[in-house]
Structure 1
Amino acid sequence: MQRIVPDDSPSFRYPGGMKDTILFLKNFLRHPTQVGAIAPSSPGLVQTMVEGFDWESARNVVEFGPGTGVFTEAILKRLHADAKFFAIERSAELVQATRERCPNVTVYQDSVTHVAELCQRESMPDVDSVICGLPWASFSPTLQSEIMDAMISVLKPNAQFATFAYWQGLALPAGRRFASRLHETFTEVKRSPTVWRNLPPAFVYRCVR
């Protein structure tokens, strides 16, 4: 039996409250294949996403799909003082939400397939860590491959990558295809315990290039 990851908020309130939840739901209804969830990630999932990284040594960090900025906020608390960091988000509303939550962070409204160009703009020759909130199980095979290839082109050897997945996504062909692609691409792929107190329940893939 998998253990339950405890939520760090006794009342299990989502960061940002009802405002962020409504914003997330609106974007899901408009673009379900881009957002992939009906609510922001819970504090427990946020903690699980960021706890596996080597923050002491990571100097170039990129976030894919920050949504309302809950992962972004957690990343900022852990970044080394000498680290560079930026995020990429397609939704204009979610870009604004992340900028409001984390006003000192560079957030590009763009596709993550352009990560190499954005890294050049940020003077990042390569990337140590990628934290990803994208809905892989909602993507077509072509888009999955385009995003993965773009990311691999900037990851340095031994770089770390983390992304979360919902349990129901494993039943979808796209979810199974993504899991297979991870094992083909990375030398190490681990799966966290399930965060049951998330809507819906989720787990984190932790990978090393």
Structure 2
Amino acid sequence: MVEWLDWQEVRTVAEYGPGTGVFTREILSRLSPGGTFVAFEANEEIAAFWRGQFPDQNLYCGSAAKVGEELSRLGHSQLDAVISGLPWAAFPESLQREILDATLAVLRPGGYFATFAYLQGLLLPAGIRFRRLLKEYFAEVEVSPVTWLNLPPAIVYRCRSRAAAEQSAGS
């Protein structure tokens, strides 16, 4: 999920749905000293567990749709990368769009967005719709090979936001 990012250019990272912190550990091990990390977890019990694992890290207990407000509170206006563990195939389209809109509002031009999907979720209407939305929202969308050793098997969506020149031309 995180190895494909160019960590030399990543200084500000958000993680959506950090759960028990598997990806958090990988992110923090790669983030440069002085970098900013913030996690977004809507489930209060999971957030409490996560805080116990990472007491010195920023955690917002609430929707990732609030990424702009929380980033501003931390003194930043843009993210270089977002790593998401959210269950996109379980969300209605309105919530998928709300979070993607909020993400693109703060993701720098050429910024990174990575999320995974379990194979069975790809066949659900919300999973099919989410893949279509990624292509609508991002300039680049790559799909990893299936990770069969993961249970359940999963793929990773690796996305890049539009570069500044593309955004200007599209306006």
Q: TM-score, structure 2 length as denominator?
A: 0.91
Q: Tell which has more relative contact order, 1 or 2 (C-alpha 8 A, sep 6+).
A: 1
Runs of 4+ in structure 1 off by over 6 angstroms are none
Match of 1:103 among 34, 49, 55: 55
| Pair 1:68-2:20 in alignment | yes
Post-superposition shift, 1:94?
1.0
Aligned partner of residue 197 in structure 1, secondary structure: coil
Identity of aligned residues (%): 50
Alpha-carbon RMSD: 0.9
Q: Does 1:123 align with 2:75?
A: yes
Q: Distance in 1 between matches of 2:147 and 2:67?
A: 29
Alignment of 1:137 onto 2:101: no
**1:181 counterpart residue number:** 133
Unaligned runs of 5+ in 1: 1-48
Conservation of the 8 A alpha-carbon contact between 1:73 and 1:101:
no
Task: Note the residue ranges of structure 2 that are not aligned, 5 or more in a row.
Answer: 162-171
Aligned partners of 2:123 and 2:15: how far apart in 1?
26
- Give the match for residue 147 of structure 2: 195
Please give the alpha-carbon distance, in whole angstroms, between the structure 1 residues aligned to 2:4 and 2:89.
Answer: 22
Q: State the one-letter code of the partner of 2:143.
A: R
State the SS of the aligned residue for 1:159. Answer: strand
What CA distance in whole angstroms lies between the structure 1 residues aligned with 2:143 and 2:150?
A: 16
Q: Letter of the 1:74 partner, please give it.
A: E
Matched AA of 1:68: T
**2:33 paired with 1:84:** no
Q: Deviations over 1:86-119 (max 9, x none)?
A: 1010111111221222222111111111111001
- TM-score if structure 1 supplies the norm length? 0.75
